[in-house]
Structure 1
Amino acid sequence: MEFILDLVIIILATKLAGQLSVKIGQPAVLGKLIVGILLGPAVLGWIHTNDFIHYFSEIGVILLMFIAGLETNVEQLRQNWKSALAVAIGGIILPFAGGFGVGQLFGLDDMYSLFIGILCSATSVSISVQVLKELDRLRSPEGTTILGAAVVDDILVVLLLAMMVSFLGTSSESISLPLLISQKVLFFVVIIVIGCWVVPYLMKRVSRLKVTEPTISAALIICFGFAYFADWMGMAAIIGAFVAGIAVAQTPFKLMIESKTETIAYTIFVPVFLVSIGLNVSLVGLSQQIGFVIVLTIVAIITKLLGAAVGARLTGFSTHSSLAVGSGMISRGEVALIIAATGLQNGLLQQQYFTSVVLMIIMTTLVAPLLLKLFFQKTSRE
């Protein structure tokens, strides 16, 4: 029953930390992220990563992105697709060059430097979604652009990673690039067909069932089904969950599902997800690589911020709005952690640099909420 005690500590600590963070004028999510570091191996050592933490955090991030999909304005997403594409491309090119440059600066081989570049190109907006909800800006043009750009970013980075694994990785498995691209195309074709025609029909029929909570149950089945399908097709599960939210939002049950899903997510699963990020922090061996960690983190933050902001600025956003979009793309989160693990497994990332890379991912995740709030405050005064 040890996991019950972990759950008690996590829920209590995240709520208190969130409240304290709000009181000092910061996003609640920042306090929840920091408390994960305090509870984990880096400081107190009260909670360690285990199967319970892993599975609950996976559910938490999937529900978080499902809620983001539910709250997304589809019409605004269509209007901002050019901005989303430009933000994603800008947010890949500059971080890739920056990450490669850092690798070269610290004497890494070209192969390892290229992988660092791919790692810096990744984006995870799950934390940004939480902050945007707190600021009530998830449905804004900036919020919609961030979400759309994250989808494009995920596709492009996965393709880059697959190419590198195929040509330079040590894995015995060969990856066919045409097959990989076909998978991505098939994924979107299938979910668009299901989302447009199957989901509305299914929700309508299920709502008539005389069982407990049939509608929310159907919505969660769709959410997790889309997430699993995305993962199976080589995409991030959060992309599937996000698209599932958009599909369900087109039904008459949107508001009811949104309310009940938020209750489920924010009571248990999202707190575990936020704490799980801090649990990855380890200070072992850090003293030998402190310079690498600092430089890589600074470059990762600045290049993603400016690269994405330039894309937004070129497509009509104001300077402060562009910086707000850029700050929403900074967090590398669980997407970069998956890429780092893949690189380690395929010989593209040296073992001694894994902790440094994880710390960079954590730091970008901590900085994103601060910059998001700062630039959105400036945007509201324009």
Structure 2
Amino acid sequence: MPVSPVAPIAASDLLVFLLQIGLLLLLAHGLGRLATRLGMPAVVGELGAGVLAGPSVLAHAAPAASAWLFPTAPARFHLLDAVGQLGVLLLVGLTGAHMDLALVRRRAATAAGVSVGGLCVPLGLGVAAGVLLPRTLVPAGTDAMVFALFLGVAMCVSAIPVIAKTLMDMRMLHRDIGQLTLTAGMIDDAFGWCMLSIVSAMAGRAASAASVGIALAHLAVVVAFTLTVGRPLVRLALRPAARSGEAGPAVAAATILILLAAAATHALGLEAVFGAFACGLLIGSAGRIEPAKLAPLRTVVLSALAPVFFATAGLRMDLTALGRPQVLLTGLAVLAIAVIGKFAGAYAGARLSRLNRWEALALGAGLNARGVIEVVVAMVGLRLGILSVEIYTIVVLVAVVTSLMAPPILRLAMARLAETAEEESRESEQRAWITEPVSGP
């Protein structure tokens, strides 16, 4: 029997989807430019676009319009999610391609020291906060230790996509501190996602030494593959694109590699962004493709796809729950714990690694940005029943406020650090991703 073809998307669904993308991009770019004029990175405005269009504002100001334009039905909302996920994976992949691996190798001990401090202190404080929070804000039937561990994980993560976008917007990705921040953030997130999988298993009453071992083994497999087989495979895949005089084959090859790598790590139970980031590292280190050939991909990602991702994250935020005094006071306490823990831990790790106070402050500011990664963690907790709506809102508040804090503190600290000749050279190379012309065939 012949297989019946799948029906195309309904006309009404397509209309809503096109309006969602168009209006979110319009808001994201408008607020992004406003944020830039106010001295903040564009990502702040892009997150704000989702907040305005979501349940925090539009759902209360115009409920009927909100229900029609941003319906809560998963089938419709997931179309928007898919575009956002494509954007964040390509953004993280391009970030990896910008990484200076020679610097990472030279300063691996420094990055590890900063990361350990930025993990242990906020994790410990987050667990303590989870134990002390009012039980009225914890869902009934949730194990107290699982809740405390989950909150600790939420406090210790950093947001590679937000950090990367912030550093790109502020033109600091070429600085040594920018590279160290991304490296330490990658370590933080690797630990955070492993801990998230363990705590999630505990919430499902399936935690065991075997499940923990499997998660760690999968992470080791990805690292080992990247360091050994990955590089020659990427070089082989990029060879035809390198021979072409046009940018199209290079853009297609990089996109395919990044998405397949993301799918591979996701299939292993790890976060897809790690596969994208690892693949980006390999693309950047392979040396097969001229940076100018990937400039079109970077433009599309930063101008269209990434703003949709950040705006979509804002759509899930409902800040009206903070109107209750107990929730507001608890939120302020958790925010203070999150900021103090991350700053103190990263600052201490940086100082013990013999960095000066301004470098330590810049690292603390960068790693303090939780952004949408913390939103994702919060959504997992909400889905598993670990977090109540109130605690979910508080965790989202931490994500937004810490992302807003990063740019001014980074700018203050970096203004007191002289740019080295190596950094200037790296900036020139990275500028080629945007400005150098691509020759024809």
Common fold by TM > 0.5 = yes
Equivalent in the alignment of 1:240? 275
Say if 2:303 is the partner of 1:276. no
Contact 1:33 1:278 in 2 (8 A): yes
1:346 CA drift (Å): 4.3
Say if 2:258 is the partner of 1:223. yes
Contact 1:191 1:226 in 2 (8 A): no
Single out whichever of 311-320 and 334-343 deviates more from structure 2: 334-343
Single out whichever of 257-266 and 105-114 deviates more from structure 2: 105-114
Equivalent in the alignment of 2:335? 297
Say if 2:352 is the partner of 1:338. no
Say if 2:124 is the partner of 1:97. yes
Say if 2:338 is the partner of 1:324. no
Say if 2:302 is the partner of 1:266. yes
Contact 2:154 2:378 in 1 (8 A): yes
Say if 2:113 is the partner of 1:86. yes
Say if 2:69 is the partner of 1:33. no
Equivalent in the alignment of 2:171? 136
Out of 283, 307, 323, the residue aligned to residue 345 of structure 2 is 307
SS of corresponding position for 2:369: coil
SS of corresponding position for 1:96: helix
Deviations along 1:274-330, one digit per CA (max 9) or x if unpaired, are 212221211354333111111111211221122112212221221111111111111
Q: Aligned pair in 2 of structure 1 residues 44, 377: CA closer, same or farther (>3 Å)?
A: farther
Give the whole-Å Cα distance in 1 for the aligned partners of 2:146 and 2:215: 21
Give the whole-Å Cα distance in 2 for the aligned partners of 1:78 and 1:362: 32
Equivalent in the alignment of 2:322? 286
Q: Aligned pair in 2 of structure 1 residues 101, 16: CA closer, same or farther (>3 Å)?
A: same
Equivalent in the alignment of 1:169? 203
Partner AA of 2:26 in structure 1? L
Alpha-carbon RMSD across the aligned residues, in angstroms, is: 2.6
Matches within 5 A, 1:66-81: 66-81=93-108
Say if 2:288 is the partner of 1:252. yes
Partner AA of 1:230 in structure 2? T
Contact 2:163 2:182 in 1 (8 A): no
Deviations along 1:19-74, one digit per CA (max 9) or x if unpaired, are 22222222222222223212222112456371232111111111111111121111
1:355 CA drift (Å): 2.7
Contact 2:96 2:280 in 1 (8 A): yes
Equivalent in the alignment of 1:57? 84
Contact 1:27 1:373 in 2 (8 A): no
Higher relative contact order, structure no. (Cα contacts within 8 Å, ≥ 6 residues apart): 1
Contact 1:281 1:362 in 2 (8 A): no
SS of corresponding position for 1:137: coil
Single out whichever of 130-139 and 200-209 deviates more from structure 2: 200-209
Contact 2:119 2:157 in 1 (8 A): yes
Q: Aligned pair in 2 of structure 1 residues 212, 155: CA closer, same or farther (>3 Å)?
A: closer
1:122 CA drift (Å): 1.2
1:247 CA drift (Å): 1.1
Deviations along 1:76-122, one digit per CA (max 9) or x if unpaired, are 11112112111211111111122123223323434322221121111
Flag the structure with larger Rg: 2
Give the whole-Å Cα distance in 2 for the aligned partners of 1:9 and 1:330: 30
Single out whichever of 334-343 and 274-283 deviates more from structure 2: 334-343
Matches within 5 A, 1:119-198: 119-166=154-201, 168-172=202-206, 176-198=211-233
Equivalent in the alignment of 2:26? 12
Give the whole-Å Cα distance in 2 for the aligned partners of 1:273 and 1:251: 29
Single out whichever of 356-365 and 262-271 deviates more from structure 2: 356-365
Out of 218, 236, 243, the residue aligned to residue 201 of structure 1 is 236
Give the whole-Å Cα distance in 2 for the aligned partners of 1:14 and 1:176: 41
Give the whole-Å Cα distance in 2 for the aligned partners of 1:232 and 1:299: 34
Give the whole-Å Cα distance in 2 for the aligned partners of 1:313 and 1:105: 31
SS of corresponding position for 1:176: helix
Give the whole-Å Cα distance in 1 for the aligned partners of 2:251 and 2:181: 27
Contact 2:250 2:294 in 1 (8 A): no
Give the whole-Å Cα distance in 2 for the aligned partners of 1:233 and 1:153: 19
Partner AA of 2:339 in structure 1? I
Identical counterparts, % of pairs: 25
Equivalent in the alignment of 1:106? 133
Q: Aligned pair in 2 of structure 1 residues 171, 56: CA closer, same or farther (>3 Å)?
A: farther
Q: Aligned pair in 2 of structure 1 residues 190, 141: CA closer, same or farther (>3 Å)?
A: same
1:184 CA drift (Å): 0.9
Give the whole-Å Cα distance in 1 for the aligned partners of 2:156 and 2:249: 41
Partner AA of 2:167 in structure 1? L
Q: Aligned pair in 2 of structure 1 residues 258, 208: CA closer, same or farther (>3 Å)?
A: closer
Give the whole-Å Cα distance in 2 for the aligned partners of 1:214 and 1:381: 35
Partner AA of 1:156 in structure 2? F
Contact 2:238 2:288 in 1 (8 A): no
Partner AA of 2:99 in structure 1? T
Give the whole-Å Cα distance in 2 for the aligned partners of 1:354 and 1:16: 28
Out of 405, 422, 425, the residue aligned to residue 367 of structure 1 is 405
Give the whole-Å Cα distance in 2 for the aligned partners of 1:380 and 1:31: 29
1:198 CA drift (Å): 0.8
Give the whole-Å Cα distance in 2 for the aligned partners of 1:347 and 1:27: 34
Q: Aligned pair in 2 of structure 1 residues 53, 359: CA closer, same or farther (>3 Å)?
A: farther
Work out the number of aligned pairs and report it: 381
Single out whichever of 3-12 and 357-366 deviates more from structure 2: 357-366
Give the whole-Å Cα distance in 2 for the aligned partners of 1:210 and 1:145: 34
Q: Aligned pair in 2 of structure 1 residues 3, 371: CA closer, same or farther (>3 Å)?
A: farther
1:373 CA drift (Å): 2.8
Contact 1:27 1:370 in 2 (8 A): no
